[in-house]
Every structure is written in structure tokens, then in C-alpha cells.
Structure 1
Amino acid sequence: MRADADLDLLGVLVTRRGRLMEVATVLRRYGFASIAAQLDSAGGPGHRLVQRVTDRFIDPELASASAGERLRGALTELGTTAIKLGQLLSLRPDIVGPNVASALAELRAGVPADPPGHAEDTVRAELGADVTELFREFDPTPLASGSVAQVHRAVLHDGTPVVVKILHEGVRRRVLDDLQLLSALAVWSEAVSPIAHQLRFAAVAADFDRSMRGAVDLREELANLQRFGAMFAEDPGVRIPVAYPERSSAGVLTMEEMTGHVVDDGESVRAAGWAPDELATRTASIYLTMVFRHGIYHTDPHPGNFLLNPGVITILDFGDVARISSSKREQLEDLIAAVGGGEPRSVTDALLAITDAPPGIREDEVVDDVEAQITDHLTGGVDAIDLAAVTRGVAVVVHRHGLSLPAEIALVLRVVTLLQGLAADIGADIDLRSITRPFALDLARRRLDPKVRLGRAVRTGRAWERLAETLPGELSALLDHIRREGGADLRLRDPDGIADHLVDGLLTAALVLSAGELVSRSVPPKLGSLSVPGLAVAGAAWLRYRSIRARRAGAPSAAARLRLAERVIRSARRPGTS
């Protein structure tokens, strides 16, 4: 693994050495080793040596800045891919920590417009026709310029106002080159660093790779516009721009120009005919619908992506869209239900169920932190819950204990924080009670739906069937090992009776698994006149009774029961058992 990662990285470094030198120069000037040391709380002596050597090159004007501020500056200077990576990391406080994530959340991707003529040339190359053929009017001066593309106003020949999004010159090639370098570095870091392996750097890089490839292929955004347009087609209170596929391609996207009031503050919201509390609650409800009913959602609910008209919210920029699987949705629902209950142990159990916990984690310490960071914010009832504080608390607990949130759930939690921030910007409160009630009822219906329960039962049955096929052999091997390693001495080494409980448990498992084997092999469920499942239950009860009597008599025979368990398992594994 390490050798393969080294070779892969070496190949990329040779082909991308110019870009690598540029990246290294910028990171060195911003004191990247120091930043990395703060991100890696387990940095060892070698890490500290690299930090001391590298920090000699820090720009003196940057030395007093925080780690997050310096990382934000370095990523901004490195351009499109780095900025987008920083924005992704701002969603992962479990990886970079809450303070660095907060600093990276301020990354803004303003890029100068391309030289005059680039837009027209790109349209011609991508669509095979001049702008004069495709549009009645086309403004060569960009309306706005972002990290990946710039936007121009235009008018179709039928008089429809549109905007045309055009990729920046050379951006696709630069992004793909950077992604190749980043992927190799992530795989290599996992091979050499336990921390990077625990935080799944390669998986994070793979998610980022998929996202960025979509960002530089505007056909992805076109599909998103069509998908979300259909999703809200029956809701007159939500508008999604109409896309024009015949005037779109990988490098050009033409869509309806939307009008309305920009969301700046409470006054701008009221001027658009909305009450701030009403807007905050409605927006949160829209996003809950996306996440929990459709499993696909717009990931960037900042004020600039909304336009307001009386009774209508227009959502812009569908370049950043994410999905959440049904299994992750259920885990998130369990976490939300636990948080709503306010019991630290339940929240901890739900949190550990969705994260990758490192070996040796102290669950009692996690419970204490959950109480301090999360459940203490839940004492005032539903209406008083501070969503941002709860989400930050989750981030603190996850980062402090080396847990790793799945990207699907981390992104949803970040969206929750952004929605709370939007509410704060306009001086509003989100009415959690009114928006969560219909979703709670919907959740209850889904969880109790007979089809859903049947599907789960089938999946569980298949899992037990697989277990019945594999576990007898594994138990047999375990029993062999125990017997070889001194099973006959169990009574002498275990004066408190632990071995008896272990052996009774193994034999009970053997009987139950034997029943499963007999049934799964289509053998009638009777041995003579006895029911196989009944025999398993009776055997377990008999073992318990004999165990108690033997312990009272002071003469348990663990080795004998081990041999019996082994015979039961092996007989169950023989074909044609009757």
C-alpha cells in the first residue's frame, strides 16, 4: 500500500512539478506546517521538526494570524480548486476543527473576468454558432464573475431575458490537473499517517473530485435545474430558473433570468412583502423537504442565492447540489430524534452509530462532552433550540474524540448552520415547531409503513442467513483454538464462572445456528418428533439450569460442554443432516 502510494505520488509529482512548486511556495510562506500541526493534535516529534524548519519562511506579516486565517489566505492565492477545497473543508469541522472551519467558511471565490472576446469564442466553440445566431441580444460585459465561470445577460429571439454562464478560459484543464495532484497526495497521506487514515482523506478527496468535475461541466447544473424544477413544479411559492438545453453544453449554460428583491437584511425582506420570521421558517421548510423527502438538496443557502417576490422564493445557483442516501437519512433522523429527546446517552449512541470511532474511544467521556456541548442547549424546549449552537456542539465532540462524520451528514449539518445564519442576518427566528411537525408525522408514517418494515425484515433475514452460513465454521475454529490453548483449564483460571457463561453462550449459539442450518437446507423442521427450534430453546434452558446446578455443586465441566458444542456445530454443517 505504502509503496504503491509512493509510486503514484512520484508519477504525479514528475508530471505536475511546476504546479507543485507553486503550491509549495505559497504554503511555505503561509506557514503550512504550523497549520498542519494545529489540525493534527497528535503531531509527533518529526512533525514538530518540520514545523520549526518551515516556519522560518513564514511571511512576518502573517505570523500573528490564526491557523484558519492563514490557511484561508493560502487557498485564496492558489486559485479555483484550492478555494473550492477550502469551502468543502469548511463543511468538515470533524476534520479541520470548528475554528478553522469557521475561518474557511468566509472563503469567497471572486475571479477577474476573462479578456474581451472569450465569451463569444467559447459560445461559438461549444454550440457551433455565433452569439448573434443564438441570441437577439448578448452583453459582452459580464454581469458577474466567479471562481469557475462568468455570467452574461442575453435575450432570446422571442424576447425572453436569459443569463448565459460561461466557463473561464482554461479552468477545466487547471482543475483536472489539480485534482490529479490532490488525489495522489490524499492516498499517500493515508498510507503514511494514521490520522489521515482515520479521517479518510482519500474518501474526502474522492468526494471533492466528483464535485469539482461536475462544477466544470455545466451539463451537471443543467440537469440539476431540470430536476429541481420538476421537484417544485406544483409549489407556486418556489421558483427555479428554466434551463435551455439547446443553448447549453459542457462549457455554456443558458437559463431564465430571474428578478426579485435581494436578501440583505430585515428591511429588504419586508420590502419584498415578507415578514423575516415567515421567510426564515419557509426557507427551512423548503430545505427539509429537499433533504428528507427527496434526498437531494441545494447546498448553498446563503442570501445571494435567493430572490424574493411577494409569496415567492426564487433559488439560484444549482452548481452545488448533494444527495443523501436513504440509510444516511435514517441515521440522521435518529440523531435528530435523540437530540430532540435531550438525553446525553441517546445522543452519544446515535452519534457513534454514524461515525467511525477510533479504537479505544472512551464512551463515558463522549457522553460528558455531548452533555456539555449539545444537550445543555436543549433545556428551553423546541422553540428555544439554537440550531447553530447544537451543530457546533456536534462538530466539537466529533473533532475532539477523533470521530469522522460521513460527508453526506456533515454537509446537511453545515446547511443547517447556514440556514440559521440566514435567519440571524435578517433578524428572524425559525419556528421549529411548525416546520418539524409535518416531517415528524411523515417520518412516523414511513417508519411504520408495512412495505418498509417488510423490506427491513427481508434484509435482516438475509443477514441472518449469511450469518448462519459462516458463523458455525468461525465458532468451530474458535472452539478448536480454546481447546488447544487450554480449554481444559478454564475452570481453574476462572473461579468467578466467566468461562461457564462463555461456554453456555457458545453452546446456545451452536443449537440456534444448527436449527438455522437445518431449516436453510430444506430439512423438515423436526428431529424425530421434536421441533428443531423447540430443541434449541429447550437446550438453552437446559444448559442454564445445569450451569446453575453445577456452580452450586462446585464441579462445572467447561471442557465437556465445549466438546458438546463442537459436535453440535459440526453435525449441523454436514450435508444431509436429518
Structure 2
Amino acid sequence: MGQTPLTQLKRYDAETIAHYYRYRPWRAIWRALRVTGLFLGFILGLKWDDWQHQVEANKLRRAAQLRNILTVLGPTFIKVGQALSTRPDLIRQDFLDELVKLQDQLPPFPNEIAFRIIETQLDDTVDDIFAEISPDPIAAASLAQVYKARLHSGEIVAVKVQRPNLLPILTLDLLLMRWAASWLSPWLPLNLGHDLSLIVDEFGTKLFEEIDYLNEGRNAEKFAHNFRNDPTVKVPSIFWRYSTNRVLVLEWIDGLKLTDTDHIKQVGLDTDALIRIGVTAGLRQLLEYGFFHADPHPGNLFALAPSPSVNGSQAFPNARMAFIDFGMMDQLEESAKETLVDAVVHLINKDYLELAKDFVTLGFLTPDVDIHPIVPALESVLGDIMGESVRDFNFKTITDRFSELMYDYPFRIPAKFALIIRSLVTQEGLALTLNPNFKIVEIGYPYVARRLLTGESPALRRRLLEVLFKDGKFQWKRLENMIAIARSDSGFDLLPTAQLGFQFILSDEGRFLRQQLLLALTEDDRLHTEEVRRLWNLIKDDIKPARLFDAALGALVDFSTAGTAALLPSMASLEKRLLS
């Protein structure tokens, strides 16, 4: 590889990149000096302002200076700035206002170069490909710039053209980041830096995938297929005839940036509905499909006016959201999805031993670690995470509290979960921009509760049993809380859930639950009529007699004689307990 050009490198390979620059050490040295010099000058400027008591007077100038440094250093550092631009809880507002400009207010590269790339990639002239094309780019981002055009067939499209000479820039920065990660790891507390190099490698892998536009097109179509039945989520169509590795032509999206809150309110869009769409879509990506957008910054998400098909929706009456830029995606395995649901349930239920086991399963703790000393630490740090109620929970609090544990216990962040955490943190940051009082659990936990109560898979039904039973006893209060929280989601209908639950109880698979429910009703040698009454008061407004009859009838339609026979022993057990 010493003499092989970087243009032939199709996938990220740390060893190949290191071998390439081993023969060109002056490039790495010069780049390292440039990066260090720029940031050192910035830090010294901040210190000087502090010494001269000029922090307030110079804060806007320093914010602009930081944005300019990241812009000058190019795509890799711009990506870091983009992630920080969505964290109002971490970054001062003056810096935040500048970093937001990194989403699509970057300097474009010359049109002549962009049009030459289009013509070379598509083997045709720009005039023969497009009936019209904007004379200048509509937006310039870290890896590409976008033109608005019209095809000869009439469709309005976005033309995404990759910046020239990306590979030499990306590979050199990734090499230096990897070197810095290996140097920093020993200085970090315990295992915090254990996977730092792996995180850089994961980032590098995703960057290489992101600059392959055919891969991005395939990702977009897979994402669109997952949300095909959700009218509140829009994904642009891909025009494959005009797309290559470096040029992507896709449907034009007319929308508003989520950070443009004033404009969003002016056109009458419901900001809370937008938050609900974004958070629910994010949870579905992680917990249902396992295929998630790993770069949901404000330049990649747009608010749309409602379409006629959405106007009558009860859940999202006045908003839609468009996702674009599917270069940075990742896939979560089925086992990891299930464990994430477990972790949420165990956190909500304060089962810290099981939560520690979840961390082992997910790779945050190694299998050989003794988790028993960690359990009290989890309880002390996360024990009051809910505050007065579950709705006081938020992801920022979790990350802040969890970072405390990193200093004292051997936690580490698996490379794959670095992207997930970044995605979740970014989405919560966007939600906080739309509504500073937003709590992610107000949408997130009703979603998890609804999925558990619906129990559409054996794995979720097992998790529901785990929630409802502890130490062999039925947890009446948990069921009440779960139903109450699920009902706080206006899209949740209790009747279909009740019907599914009834069918499950009557099935062979539900034999254990059937027996346990009968035992729960007579637990501690008494009928639990008070608990049943509270549950009925909770749900009676949702269950009208006619609908209740229809639901029960529907559940019994397929209930066989064998099923009835299976139910009788449980009834006999209940009669025996009542008579004893």
C-alpha cells in the first residue's frame, strides 16, 4: 500500500492507512502541528479573556473563532462541531449559535469543480441531465454540497455532490485521532479509554460508508420501507439512474429546520407533536427495526406541513418530519434490542442487579467483572433518577450520572453504542431546542409500556411477565403505573391490548401467567378486590360495554375446547384456595 493511491481504498482500514502514511510522515506531522496550533491559540485566547476580565465582551468573537477553526480543519472536525451544536446543556448559548452554522452554512467549493464531478460521474453534460439546476449550491455541508434541479421528466430533485479530495483529509485525521486515542487512554479513569481506539475505528468505518452514495441510497430505501406505514415520517425517493458513489440525486424536500423554532411556530406547526414524532421514530429505529440514523443533527431533519392523510390523525394532528442524509446508519442485533428494553424496564423498576447484568450483556462491563460491588453504586447514582415521578427522568441526567460511575468502576463504552448514545443525545438536544421543558420519558416510557402491554412477540411477553412479577409476587402497582403511563400516549388504544392480553392468557403459552394471576388474586389469603377496583377505575373510561363485549368475543373466537380444558385446572386451583 506504500505506493497505492488512497482513491483505491473503498473501506476504512486502520492498518492500511497507517502503512500509507508511514511512507509520508511529513504529512501527519504537519497536520498534527496545524491542529495543535489552532486549538492552542483558541485556548490561550480564552485564558487571556479571563485574565483581562473580558470574557463577556469577547464571547461572541471567541464563538466565531471556534467555528472558523473547525471549518478550516475540515470534515472530521466539522462532524465534532455538529454533534456539539445539538447540546444546549453542554455548550454555552453563544458557542451553540455559532456551531449550529456548521450544519449547512459552510463555504462551498467552486461550481465548476462540482459540475465537472457530476459530468464525470454520470458521463453526460449537466444540460443533458437536468432541465434546470441552481447556479449556486443551496447548502454546503461537511462532506458535500447540494443543488436544486429539475429533471427533463419534470421532477424537482436535490443533487448531492461530494467534496473533492475527501479521502486524503479523512484518512489523515482518522490516523491522528487514533494516535491521540491510544495516547489518551492511559490517562483516563479505569476503563473509560479502553475502547477509545475502537470508537475511532467505528467512526472511521461510518465515515467511509457515508461517502459512498450508493450505500446511502440503499440505506434510504431500507429506512423508508421500515416507516412505510407511518405518514408522519417522510423519506425522499432516490433517482438511481442519476446516482453514483459520488453523486446522489433524490427527491427535493421543502421543509423547515427544527432549530428554526420561530418559523415553525409562524406556520402553525405543533412543536410538541414534532418532538413526539422524532422521539418515537428514534425509539422505533432502535427497539423495533434495529436500523437507526446515527447522525440526526438539525441539518438532516426537517419539519413539514401536514399532508391531507395526516390531518385526521389523533396522534400527530399537525406535523410531519422528513429524514435526509442516510450515509451514517448502523444495525443493532436482535439480542441487543431486547437487552435495551430489559435495561429500560430494570431502570424504571429499580432492579439494579439485573441492570448490572444488562450492562455486561451489552458490553459496558466485561463478563469477568464482579458486578456485586457495582450494584449499590448503581442504586446510589441512579436511585433518585426519577425524581418525584417517572416523568422527571431524562437522558441528559442519565448520561451525567453515569459518567460519575466511570471514575470509580470499570465501565467502558462499546464502539457501537458510542453511535447510539450520540444519536439519543442529539435527538434529546433537538427536542430541548423545540421545548426546553421536554422530558424524553413522557414519550419514551409510554412507548416502551405500550410495546410491553401489546406483547406482539414472545420476547416482549416474557419481559412483561418480568415487570409484573417480582420474587414470585404479582406487582399490582406496576401494572397500574404501566397502564397509566401507556394511556398518556394519545395513540394508545387499550381495547386491542386487552384483547391481545386475553388471548394470551387463554393460550398454552399463557399457562404460567394464568396460574400466577389466579394466585395473585388470592395472595396472602385474601381476595385482592381493592387492587382490581383501582385497575377498573383506571381503565373504565376507555372501555365501553359494547367495545368490551366485542373485544372479549374476538379473543374467544379461536379459543378451542383444548384451551378450555387447559383453563379448568387453574380454575380448580382457585376454588381450592378459596375454600381452604
Short-chain TM bin: 0.5 to 0.7
Correspondence for 1:12 among 13, 21, 37:
21
Measure the CA separation in 1 of the matches of 2:287 and 2:15.
Answer: 42
Cα deviation 1:523-560 (Å, max 9, x = unaligned): xxxxxxxxxxxxxxxxxxxxxxxxxxxxxxxxxxxxxx
Aligned with 1:309 (options 305, 318, 323): 305
Distance 1:286 1:146, change over 3 A: same
Are 2:22 and 1:26 equivalent residues in the alignment? no
> Measured at CA, do residues 293 and 360 of structure 1 come closer, stay the same or move farther in structure 2, by a change above 3 Å?
closer
2:44 maps to 60
Q: Deviations over 1:224-265 (max 9, x none)?
A: 111112222222222101111111111111111111344346
Among 206, 225, 228, the residue aligned to 2:223: 228
Taking the TM superposition and a 5 Å limit, the aligned residue runs for 1:270-281 are 270-281=265-276
Going from structure 1 to structure 2, the CA distance change for 1:390 and 1:198 (only over 3 Å counts) comes to closer
**Cα separation, 1, equivalents of 2:177 and 2:429:** 31
- Confirm or deny: 8 A CA contact 2:292 2:330 kept in the other structure: yes
Cα shift readout 1:250-282 (whole Å, capped 9, x = no counterpart): 111111111134434655444455433332222
Whether the aligned pair in 2 keeps the contact of 1:12 and 1:181 (CA below 8 Å) is: no
Q: Is the 8 A contact 1:23 1:78 kept in 2?
A: no
The CA distance in 1 between the partners of 2:92 and 2:361, in whole Å, is 23
1:212 aligns to what?
Answer: 207
SS in 1 for 2:200: helix
Superposed CA deviations along residues 301-360 of structure 1, whole A, max 9, x for unmatched, are 344412221243222222222221222223322221111113444434433443454899
Task: Report the residue type matching 1:437 in the other structure.
Answer: A
User: Which structure's CA Rg is the greater one?
Assistant: 1
* Structure 2 counterpart of 1:156: 151
Which of 435, 446, 451 is residue 439 of structure 1 equivalent to? 451
Tell me the distance in 2 between the aligned counterparts of 1:82 and 1:186: 15
- Shift in Å, 1:8: 9.2
1:388 aligned to 2:372? no
Identify the range of structure 1 (422-431 vs 201-210) with the bigger mean alpha-carbon deviation. Answer: 422-431
1:183-233: per-residue Cα shift (whole Å, max 9, x none)?
566578879999789522332222112111112222221111111122222
Equivalents in 1 of 2:331, 2:454: separation in Å? 20
* Aligned 1:68-467 pairs, distance under 5 A: 77-84=72-79, 108=102, 110-180=105-175, 182-183=177-178, 199-264=194-259, 268-304=263-299, 305-310=301-306, 311=310, 312-357=320-365, 366-398=374-406, 401-427=409-435, 429=438, 431-432=442-443, 433-441=445-453, 445-447=457-459
Whether the 8 Å CA contact 2:207–2:328 is kept in 1: the answer is no
- Residue of structure 1 equivalent to 2:493: none
For the 8 Å contact 1:378–1:384, the answer to whether it is kept is: yes
Conserved 8 A contact 1:307-1:314: yes
CA displacement, residues 124-145 of structure 1 (integer Å, 9 cap, x when unaligned): 1111011111110011301111
Per-residue CA distance 1:391-431 (angstroms, 9 max, x = gap): 33233323553421223333323333333323322226453
CA distance 1:343–1:60, shift in 2 (3 Å): same
Question: Is the Cα contact below 8 Å between 1:80 and 1:148 reproduced in 2?
Answer: yes
Paired residues of 2:71 and 2:106 also in contact (CA < 8 A): no
Structure 2 counterpart of 1:61, one-letter code: G
Residues 443 and 88 of structure 1: is their aligned pair in 2 closer, same or farther, counting only changes over 3 Å?
farther
Conservation of the 8 A alpha-carbon contact between 1:222 and 1:243: yes
Question: Number of residues paired by the alignment?
Answer: 415
Which AA in structure 2 matches 1:80? P
- Structure 1 contact 270–276 (Cα < 8 Å) conserved: yes
- The CA distance in 2 between the partners of 1:320 and 1:209, in whole Å, is 11
Code of the aligned partner of 1:378: M
- Cα distance in 2 for residues equivalent to 1:369 and 1:222: 45
Q: Evaluate the alpha carbon distance shift between residue 63 and residue 135 of structure 1 in structure 2; reply closer, same or farther with a 3 A threshold.
A: same
- CA-CA distance at 1:89 after TM superposition: 9.6
Asked if structure 2 preserves the Cα contact closer than 8 Å seen for 1:323 and 1:408, the reply is: no
Q: Which secondary structure state, in structure 2, belongs to the residue aligned with residue 378 of structure 1? A: coil
User: How far off is 1:156 after superposition?
Assistant: 0.7
Distance 1:99 1:282 in 2: 24
Query: RMSD of the alignment, in Å?
Result: 4.2
Aligned equivalents of 1:183, 1:246: Cα separation in 2: 38
CA distance, structure 1, for counterparts of residue 228 and residue 215 of structure 2: 20
Helix, strand or coil for the counterpart of 2:237? coil
Cα deviation code 1:452-507 (max 9, x no counterpart): xxxxxxxxxxxxxxxxxxxxxxxxxxxxxxxxxxxxxxxxxxxxxxxxxxxxxxxx
- 2:146 counterpart SS class: strand
Instruction: Give yes or no for contact 2:235–2:324 (8 Å, CA) kept in 1.
Output: yes
Per-residue CA deviations over 1:25-81 (Å, capped at 9, x if unaligned) read: 4315534xxxxxxxxxxxxxxxxxxxxxxxxx9863244699xx9999865542212
Other-structure match for 2:8? none
Shift of 1:390: 2.1
Give the whole-Å Cα distance in 1 for the aligned partners of 2:145 and 2:48. 35
Taking the aligned partners of 1:205 and 1:166, their CA distance within structure 2 comes to 26
Q: In 1, distance between residues paired with 2:187 and 2:400?
A: 30
TM superposition shift of 1:155? 0.4
The CA deviation at 1:151 is: 0.6
Structure 2: state its 5+ residue gaps.
Answer: 1-13, 51-62, 311-319, 463-580
1:504 maps to what in 2? none
Asked if the contact 1:85–1:208 (Cα under 8 Å) also holds between the matched residues in 2, the reply is no
CA distance in 2, matches of 1:322, 1:8: 23
Q: Sequence identity, in percent?
A: 24
Q: 1:446 to 1:411 in 2, by over 3 A?
A: farther
